[in-house]
């Protein structure tokens, strides 16, 4: 699997695969195949794909650690940028089809509807993550600060979920919301457990080094 993941052709193929939902939506719009309300279908599908890509990004490290497929690491940045790509499309579809690109109307709607405000907050928080996903930014920030900043992805996942929950609350339809909530909770739970185990291991290693360095007393 690692060989496949590191093959030069695999990343461009993964890139095309990530563009698949976008291509499908463009085709659907051009072929008039998006159902009775194409505008709503576009807003909703791009929202769904944003949340799906958030889940995919959050799954990269657990999958890499559990399976040993270290080649997955080279896909994380691209997948993260696809989260941003789909949320920008989502925001554009909403701004165009729901709001007719009326900035004043958009601002009023963000202030008026809490579920839109929460989605917008998630978008605002995603922006610095997307802007700092390049090597130059990572160097400028330093690895520690960059990692701390990118932990915000869990907060963004929570806000995206709340946005979805709030939207579906009006329709009393929570089935999909619970599926996403379960996936995100499991991935966050794994991350916390992994950080805890890592800390314990570090403590044990430094205790062992300290014991070795201590001079032996005769006795």
Residues that bind ligand HEM (CB under 6 A): 40, 43-44, 47-48, 50-51, 87, 90-91, 94, 98, 116, 119-120, 122-123, 126, 156, 160, 163-164, 167
Q: Shortest distance, CB of residue 172 to ligand HEM, whole angstroms?
A: 13
Q: Shortest distance, CB of residue 45 to ligand HEM, whole angstroms?
A: 7
Locate tokens 């405000």: which residue? 117
Q: Which is nearer to ligand HEM, 179 or 205 (CB)?
A: 179
Q: Which is nearer to ligand HEM, 5 or 99 (CB)?
A: 99
Residue nearest ligand HEM, CB atom distance: 47
Asked if 1 and 67 count as a contact pair (C-beta separation under 8 A), the reply is yes
Q: Shortest distance, CB of residue 93 to ligand HEM, whole angstroms?
A: 8
Of 170, 22, 37, 166, the closest CA to residue 98 belongs to: 37
Distance, in Å, from the CA atom of 158 to the CA atom of 181, rounded to the nearest integer, reads: 8
Q: Shortest distance, CB of residue 71 to ligand HEM, whole angstroms?
A: 27
Q: Which is nearer to ligand HEM, 136 or 175 (CB)?
A: 175
Q: Shortest distance, CB of residue 65 to ligand HEM, whole angstroms?
A: 25
Secondary structure, 3-state, 53-70: HHHHHHHHHHHHHHHCCH
Distance, in Å, from the CA atom of 156 to the CA atom of 124, rounded to the nearest integer, reads: 9
**First CA to last CA distance, the chain:** 55
Q: Which is nearer to ligand HEM, 64 or 113 (CB)?
A: 113
* Burial profile 100-130: b = 16 or more Cβ within 10 angstroms, e = fewer: eeeeeebeebeeeeebbbbbbbbbeebeebb
Q: Shortest distance, CB of residue 62 to ligand HEM, whole angstroms?
A: 20
Q: Which is nearer to ligand HEM, 98 or 138 (CB)?
A: 98
Q: Which is nearer to ligand HEM, 53 or 75 (CB)?
A: 53
* Percentages of the chain per state (helix, strand, coil), in multiples of 5: 85, 0, 15
């Amino acid at each position: 699997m690692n060989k496949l993941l590191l093959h030069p052709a695999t990343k461009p193929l993964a890139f095309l695969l990530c563009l698949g939902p976008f291509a499908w939506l463009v085709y659907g719009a051009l072929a008039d195949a998006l159902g009775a309300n194409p505008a709503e279908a576009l807003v909703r599908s791009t929202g769904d794909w944003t949340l799906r890509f958030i889940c995919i990004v959050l799954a990269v490290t657990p999958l890499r650690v559990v399976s040993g497929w270290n080649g997955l690491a080279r896909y994380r940045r691209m997948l993260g940028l696809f989260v941003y790509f789909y949320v920008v499309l989502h925001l554009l579809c909403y701004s165009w089809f729901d709001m007719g690109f009326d900035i004043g109307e958009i601002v009023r709607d963000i202030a008026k509807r809490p579920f839109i405000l929460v989605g917008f907050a998630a978008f605002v928080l995603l922006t610095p993550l997307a802007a700092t996903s390049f090597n130059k930014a990572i160097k400028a920030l330093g690895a520690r600060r960059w990692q701390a900043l990118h932990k915000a992805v869990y907060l963004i996942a929570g806000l995206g979920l709340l946005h979805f929950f709030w939207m579906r609350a009006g329709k009393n339809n929570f089935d999909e919301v619970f599926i996403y909530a379960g996936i995100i909770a499991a991935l966050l739970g794994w991350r916390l457990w992994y950080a805890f185990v890592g800390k314990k291991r570090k403590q044990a290693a430094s205790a062992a080094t300290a014991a070795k360095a201590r001079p032996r007393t005769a006795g």
